Amino acid sequence: MISTKRTLSGFGTESVFICPNCGHNVTLASAGSGGVYLGAALIATGAIGLIMGVSKGLSRGELIFLVVIFLLFSSPSLLEAFKRQRYPVTGTREMDENEAAASGAGPTDPLQKGIVWMDGFGFIKGVLGIFGFIVLWFAFWAAVGLIKDFFF
């Protein structure tokens, strides 16, 4: 499968790939966005499980409910991962003059720049990236709290 076109769509990028042998087209989302979606599903399911299980623990029905919620939240990223396994990306292609000139421009919106940057990660780095962001967020607010306690 060789990439023919790449577009920004919502909160990710989609690339159209074509098989050089049979001409079959397939549209795949980036692996980084799938990892981010899976990480968000893990966090959301963990938060729901924590809220439900803090006082008395989780019953069997609540555990089944959490598994169903996790499958519901993670189904887009898991389906995309299965699609990537079915259609492995191999080979490269040369850019034409228009693509070479446009490749340096990139998006101007800061949100889209962040999306393109995160899409460069692989699936595992996307999952770990969202947890790393949360750790950095908590570290920032812990530092703000320490500064407030010591200096004000």
Amino acid at 62: E
User: Which domain range does residue 146 map to?
Assistant: 2-151
Is 28 in contact with 15 (CB distance < 8 Å)?
yes
For the residues 92-108, what does the mean pLDDT come to?
57
Q: Domain count of the chain? A: 1
Report the 3 state secondary structure along the chain. Answer: CEEEEEEEECCEEEEEEECCCCCCEEEEECHHHHHHHHHHHHHHHHHHHHHHHCCCCCCHHHHHHHHHHHHHHHHHHHHHHHHHHHCCCCCCCCCCHHHHHHHCCCCCCHHHHHHHHHHCCCHHHHHHHHHHHHHHHHHHHHHHHHHHHHHC
List, for residues 105-144, the tens digit of each pLDDT value.
566 777 667 766 766 777 788 888 888 889 999 999 999 9
pLDDT band (50, 70, 90) for residue 16: confident
